[in-house]
Structure 1
Amino acid sequence: MIASLFRPIALGIYLLFFIVGVVGALVLPTLSVFLAKEIGVRPLLVGIPFAGIALTSIIYNQWIGHWSDSLADRRPLVAGFCFVGTLSCVIFAFSRNYWLVAATAIFLFSLSMVSFSQMLAYSLDYADRHISPERIPLFNAIVRAQIAFAWVAGPPAGFIMASYLGFSTTYGVAAGLFAMVGVISIKLLPRLNRVEESNIEGHLAKASSAMATLSPDTKRSLIFCLVAFSLMWGANNAYLISLPLHLKDNLNIDTEWSGWIMGTTAFLEVPFMLMAGHLAARISLIAMIRLAGVAALLLYGGIVLADSLWQLFVLQLFNAIFIGVLAGLGVSVIQELLPGRSGSASALYTNTTHMGNLLSSLMVGLVADYFGYQSVFVANLVVVALAILAFGLVKPARAYSST
């Protein structure tokens, strides 16, 4: 029944995802400006914390994600990592020592981001136990929409606070929100009954068997998919890091406008995400992902040529298509290649975002340091073009079933 989507537990899950989304929207878009303008470091040093966050996130997610499956209750993990996030944001608020801030971002803030993964795991556990199978995709879509809604208001609020109240206030608010999520996760969410050990072992055995039976063509397509998704997410993250500094350095536009630009994208991407899901039954997923790549080319090419604020807002239509389709259908592409292995498909897809973040951090640090932040968008054109070519080497999964 659709009422199961709006039980108190489900509403609590939606609320927590929204708040965590707001925290990310306050911290991540403003961090590059904080490093470059508030602390005053060169572009290469701006890229180091982002690269470190990406690398340690992969390590943390792999190790903690595997270990957490053996625990009877995920809520203490969510709360613990949120309090780590509180500590990291307090350090951001009061320290202006680059190496302390960088170390905090790499080792503590990235650890706090595991709270999102554990919340996602909790939501999947809840869906498996309390929501009918035909309603689970809608539940997951609602959960994903909370992040998009958070990014509608989060980046504008973050840049406004940073511009008028200072970074100490911005990160102080983020610290308070992290603490709120930690407390609410324990007080509001109930403990879920643990899945039987035999069931877990059965799923792992099935997953291992599925991987062993993959054909060489499927393995090749999977590799090209993972590379292409990493490139696309790398371009997107390079855009998020570079846009505020591009506005300030090259267009003489206040950095707070980048928050409104990102919020506009988040608002527009939701309908494209839903539309992509509706069309996926009739159009090849790979074809739609390639279309998203074309939208990205138009976006980054337009930013290179744009010289006024209104043009950047118009270009967000292409950004919404790019991110809406990529976020809405990306994991489904990998799931088609790995039937019966939804957990492994989700993990692989999540790691492409971390690999993309690592790539983007290195790219921004090197390209911007030598050629300026506008050149990052030129590099993005090359990266997205390579991703489209890689997707061109992917044989759609539906073709395997017909041969």
Structure 2
Amino acid sequence: MVIFAAFLISTFIIGIAGALQSPTLSRYLSFEVQANPIFVGIFFSVNAVASIVASFLIAKYSDNHGQRRYIVLFCCIMGIFNSITFAFTRHYYVLITVGVFFAALASAAMPQIFALAREYAIKTGSNVVAFNSLIRAQLSLAWVIGPPLSFFLAVNYGFTTMYLSAVAMYIVVIVVIMLFLPSVQRNPTPVDISPTISADPEQSILKNKSVIFLFLATMFMWIANMMYLIDMPLYVDSVLHLSSALPGKLMGLAAGVEIPVMLIAGYLVPYVGKRNLIFFAVVCGVLFYIGLILFQNEYALLALQIFNGLFIGIVANIGIIYFQDLLPTRVGVASTLFNNAVTCSVIIGGLIQGIISDLYGHQAIYWIGLVMLLISLLLCTQVKAAQ
């Protein structure tokens, strides 16, 4: 029970530390560093690419050699260095080199925790999906609390205080990990692997078609979601002319739906199956974007968040487990692939939203989101069912 609580606390605190920094990063770069919009965009792109590369290399090392507990500790220490750099430096080129370097290494903490949690659940005979669902819910809860706290600290006490708060959180989580998080000895070949799923720890990911299709499907899902998150506040204000408080209500309601959906989905997996749940989630996403195209009043947008919460809640929880099941001997790489698909979506979704909304208006964003999800649904049909 203590170890289980340690996983929940570690995930929540690392999530809060990340959620403190990400929402206000563009504001920090614009007002504190005095970077122009082009340099802000370059920073986000460089940061995302560095995170993808670093987390994948760390994942590959962890699957072959490393103890994940020590790797998570290393990533948290890098998070401290990153936060200190941003707290006391306002020089753009230092931030985009030294800061991004530390941030990229710190970004591997979360997928490594999910990989360690799966290995611990298997070792102890726990329900892997339910265990992952509870941990994933902590991350969602962190992102409900983190962004408002981030803006509160940054606006009222300054960015130095905000980043030092993140340092304090990383210190707390390091203590929790050192005292309570277990080291798990991994078996080179897990038992009960489906014959459709490779058990070769050295197999090239490029040869696993199901993994490739799932990666692309996941990326398209999150591109649609990222475009919505970026565009929706602008759409509500400049096109629909609704309350400026509505975007916050929509995001909060969606997050409120996501958390119970994650927990319920975890318990439904043995009865429904991961593949069917993913299909259901994408269909909910399709209905959500159709609704965004058809309806433009406040109550309809609020009601549509049920479909949005079902979509994101299931995909965010079951998606990472699906990758792990398809690569059972490369759990670190599998977890990182899911994480990198989301990171890629940040880059691509931001570019599409900026270009399309400028050329064709905000309404076009939701048509593209709908197309993305239909493509994702088609790609999911090519992914084999995993045990």
User: How many angstroms does 1:53 deviate by?
Assistant: 3.0
TM-score, length-scaled by structure 1: 0.75
User: How many angstroms does 1:266 deviate by?
Assistant: 2.3
8 Å CA contact 1:55, 1:354 repeated in 2 = no
d(CA) in 2 for partners of 1:400, 1:128: 16
Q: Could you say which residue in structure 1 is the equivalent of 2:183?
A: 192
Residue identity in the other structure for 1:194: Q
Matched, 1:321 2:314: no
Residue identity in the other structure for 1:160: F
Matched, 1:387 2:376: no
Please, which of 108, 132, 153 is the counterpart of residue 125 of structure 2?
132
Specify whether residues 358 and 210 from structure 1 end up closer, same or farther in structure 2 by C-alpha distance, changes over 3 A only: closer
Matched, 1:154 2:143: no
d(CA) in 2 for partners of 1:144, 1:156: 20
Q: Could you say which residue in structure 1 is the equivalent of 2:156?
A: 164
Matches within 5 A, 1:2-401: 7-71=1-65, 73-129=67-123, 131-133=124-126, 135-186=127-178, 188-189=179-180, 192=183, 194-195=185-186, 199-200=187-188, 207-208=199-200, 219=209, 223-240=212-229, 262-277=251-266, 281-282=271-272, 284-298=276-290, 301=293, 316-331=305-320, 338=326, 341-344=327-330, 347-348=333-334, 350-365=336-351, 367-368=353-354, 371=357, 378-379=364-365, 381-395=367-381
d(CA) in 2 for partners of 1:222, 1:67: 19
8 Å CA contact 2:219, 2:344 repeated in 1 = no
Specify whether residues 260 and 169 from structure 1 end up closer, same or farther in structure 2 by C-alpha distance, changes over 3 A only: farther
Give the gaps of 5 or more residues in structure 2: none
Specify whether residues 351 and 333 from structure 1 end up closer, same or farther in structure 2 by C-alpha distance, changes over 3 A only: closer
User: How many angstroms does 1:8 deviate by?
Assistant: 1.4
Residue identity in the other structure for 2:255: A
User: How many angstroms does 1:55 deviate by?
Assistant: 2.0
Specify whether residues 40 and 373 from structure 1 end up closer, same or farther in structure 2 by C-alpha distance, changes over 3 A only: farther
8 Å CA contact 2:292, 2:301 repeated in 1 = no
Provide Cα deviations, 1:233-263, integer angstroms capped at 9, x if missing partner: 2233444556678789997988x98666544
Residue identity in the other structure for 1:25: A
Specify whether residues 138 and 231 from structure 1 end up closer, same or farther in structure 2 by C-alpha distance, changes over 3 A only: same
Identity %: 29
8 Å CA contact 1:154, 1:263 repeated in 2 = no
Residue aligned with 1:200, SS: coil
Which segment is superposed worse, 224-233 or 259-268?
A: 259-268
For this pair of structures, how many residues does the alignment match? 378
Specify whether residues 343 and 261 from structure 1 end up closer, same or farther in structure 2 by C-alpha distance, changes over 3 A only: farther
8 Å CA contact 1:85, 1:112 repeated in 2 = yes
User: How many angstroms does 1:326 deviate by?
Assistant: 1.4
Which segment is superposed worse, 173-182 or 282-291?
A: 282-291
Specify whether residues 327 and 376 from structure 1 end up closer, same or farther in structure 2 by C-alpha distance, changes over 3 A only: farther
TM-score, length-scaled by structure 2: 0.78
8 Å CA contact 1:239, 1:377 repeated in 2 = no
User: How many angstroms does 1:89 deviate by?
Assistant: 1.5
Provide Cα deviations, 1:54-107, integer angstroms capped at 9, x if missing partner: 322222222212222455643333222212111211222233333333334532
Specify whether residues 245 and 180 from structure 1 end up closer, same or farther in structure 2 by C-alpha distance, changes over 3 A only: farther
d(CA) in 2 for partners of 1:374, 1:164: 38
Residue identity in the other structure for 1:387: L
Q: Alpha carbon RMSD of aligned pairs, Å?
A: 4.2
Residue identity in the other structure for 1:170: M
Provide Cα deviations, 1:109-164, integer angstroms capped at 9, x if missing partner: 121121223323332332233x324x332222221121122222112211222232
Provide Cα deviations, 1:12-63, integer angstroms capped at 9, x if missing partner: 1211111011112211222233334544544443333332233222222222
Specify whether residues 393 and 243 from structure 1 end up closer, same or farther in structure 2 by C-alpha distance, changes over 3 A only: closer
d(CA) in 2 for partners of 1:377, 1:248: 13
Specify whether residues 343 and 400 from structure 1 end up closer, same or farther in structure 2 by C-alpha distance, changes over 3 A only: closer
Residue identity in the other structure for 2:220: L
d(CA) in 2 for partners of 1:161, 1:233: 29
User: How many angstroms does 1:297 deviate by?
Assistant: 1.4
